[in-house]
Chain A
Amino acid sequence: MAQYPERKWYTGMLSTEDWWAVWIAVGFFFISLLNIWGIDLVGWMTYPTKWVFSPPEGGKGAIGHAFYALGKKYSVTAKGFYKGLGWWSVIWSYVIFGAALTIGAASMKWNVKKFIGGFTIIYFMTIATWFIGHHAFIAATKVNMHKYGLNFALNLGGGGSFILALIVGLIIGNFFKGFASYLSEAAKPEWYIKTAIVTLGVKLGYLPIKLSAMSQKLGKEAAGLTFDLFVAGAAATVVAYLIFWPGVYVISRKIFKLPRKTAAVLGSGISICGVSAAVATGGAVRAKPVVSIMVSALVVVWAVIELVILPGFFTHVWPGTKDPLVAGASMGMAVKTDGADAAAGELLDEFMRTKIEVETNGAVKWPEGIITASAVMTKVWIDMFIGIWAFVLALIWVYKFERREGERVPASEVWHRFPKFVIGYFFCWFFLLAIYFGPGQSGAPEAMPFLKTVKAGAVPVEKGMRKLFFMLTFMSLGIITDFKKLREAQFGKMVWVYFVALFGFIIPVAILIGYLFHHGMTLPNIAQYVK
């Protein structure tokens, strides 16, 4: 279908996943704020807890409580109602999130019938893997396994569920391709992760409020730490850009003798931010779209391979629990799609927090989400720079390499390429910070009853909704990842350029830059305040 009109600044607001991630996440965020006026409309959001088939007497882990509505724990005004939901919260979440996503899908003119069918299957498979992954044998640690009557546990924390979801998705994507094709209308990892990243903004803004309930000093520390990550992430990203792109371009041209346009697209795909950058660069250098499409297919597959390898490597080989934020920031610079990066950051968060708790026998516990945020922060900066980089590259290409009479590059390209979900991410973060520093009085004791109402709304969104959308991302990533793509002959040389550049250059440099800008940043210990 052709479109002739000029692209306006607001074009795409109702027709792209990017904007729909903002509408859905910010929409639920605003609904959550009604808690300030005593109206709790988000307490139904479902969340799993560890379970066993036969809980010990007086112990924890009954299957009947394996899923609960978060309002049961956090609601100020409707605790009794949400307590009664139990497993029904799974259905409530399906219906309400499903309806919101379907409105988005319809607005984007997708096949609604196919989307509802695909989403229903993906959602319930996700819930099933979330449930299995929370069996105490998988999720408990040696610190708390005795509460479930166990003498041994895998110490995977919530990470086990993510791995299971990815495995199930990969099995479908690689062995049941007809089924994967049917699910493809709803298997949208980038949409789900962008929605989750906006809710991560809620998490960042809520963090000082959460820690203020433990101590006002901890709350202020958390606000300072997230701001440090914001600044360090920006600096690290700029440095990474200046090293990554020329490096990969030279490797592609000098060692693998690729044509200039292909080297440029591949350089962006491997070194900057995967598919978005490959598409942006392809457009900037006026390459035929097929070049970007080929590179994009490579990026998606390699990003999933990184997702499988890097969280475990960073947790158990280097830097381990000594420098968790170095690991997070490096992840953001090394993993090349938003979905795989944020998913890898979340996995790293689970692994690191579980490891430090086990290593110290429970004496050190880190708040969840900060390591994920460090991985997402560098990625978000990279996403924002893509538009500027593509614009600069287009200027160089159009005015120097392939000069054509009368052609000029519209500056609006920068805005069209700007990742809109980032607006939602920063909006939620700064909105909650404004509440914390404003009416929340920086966590002063007299403001705590007010902050408790904010918490009642924020927790279901930053915890229940965010984790569910992460789980949907893992499952969808697996479904759309077909490893056979790597074997297809037409990619030939590019597969090897990618391999050499990624493991021989990008990941080591990402670790080095992550270390330079994040080494020594520490996470607050909340062990004395939590059970």
Chain B
Amino acid sequence: MVIYASIRHDGKNWVVENDHFRVEASTLDEIDEKVRDAVREKTPEARGQKVQVYMAYDNYAIPQWIRQYSSHYFDRVIEF
């Protein structure tokens, strides 16, 4: 099962969100843990299945003057 979300950095924390959950943490290790918990809690249909969370970087979080040079930061995928 694939779950889509966005990821960005607000200057202090990494923030991952979609229509069902929103989590934030200062490190990627912590955010991955919180994403796993949030998926288990908010997405019952994912229980017992192999889940892939696709996090597309929200490029609106990059200043506009930089987007003309590179519109893409990174996308992450975690599986559990």
Contact = CB atoms under 8 A, between A and B. Distances in A.
Contacts of B29: 404
Interface residues of B, number: 37
Contacts of B56: 3-7
A515 B43 CA distance: 60
Contact of B6 (A2, A274, A412): A2
Interface of B: 2, 4-6, 8-9, 11, 17-19, 28-29, 32, 54, 56-58, 60-63, 65-80
Contacts of B65: 184, 480
Interface of A: 1-7, 12, 16-18, 184, 188-191, 274-276, 279-280, 282-284, 286, 288-290, 292-293, 296, 337, 394, 402, 404-410, 412-413, 416-417, 480
B58 A413 contact: no
A296 B63 CA distance: 11
Contact of B75 (A7, A189, A289, A296): A7
18 contacts: A3-B56, A4-B18, A12-B71, A18-B71, A274-B69, A286-B76, A289-B73, A290-B11, A292-B73, A296-B69, A394-B74, A405-B32, A406-B79, A406-B80, A407-B78, A410-B77, A416-B75, A480-B65
Nearest to B2: A6
Contacts of B2: 6
Contacts of B60: 1-3
B37 to A, nearest CB: 14
B49 to A, nearest CB: 14
Given A283-B73, A410-B77, A412-B75, A289 B68 contact: no
Contacts, number: 109
Most buried by A among B4, B29, B69: B69
Contact of B28 (A3, A337, A404): A404
B69 A337 contact: yes
B6 A4 contact: yes
Contacts of A413: 72, 74-75
Nearest to B62: A289
B12 to A, nearest CB: 9
A18 B58 CA distance: 18
Contacts of B11: 290
Contact of A2 (B58, B67, B68, B76): B58
A276 B66 CA distance: 9
A275 B69 contact: yes
A283 B57 contact: yes
B9 A3 contact: no
Nearest to B29: A404
The 10 closest A-B pairs by CB, nearest first: A283-B74, A275-B69, A279-B70, A190-B68, A283-B73, A276-B70, A2-B6, A406-B78, A16-B71, A416-B72
Given A12-B71, A404-B78, A286 B63 contact: no
B6 A3 contact: yes
B66 A293 contact: yes
A243 to B, nearest CB: 23
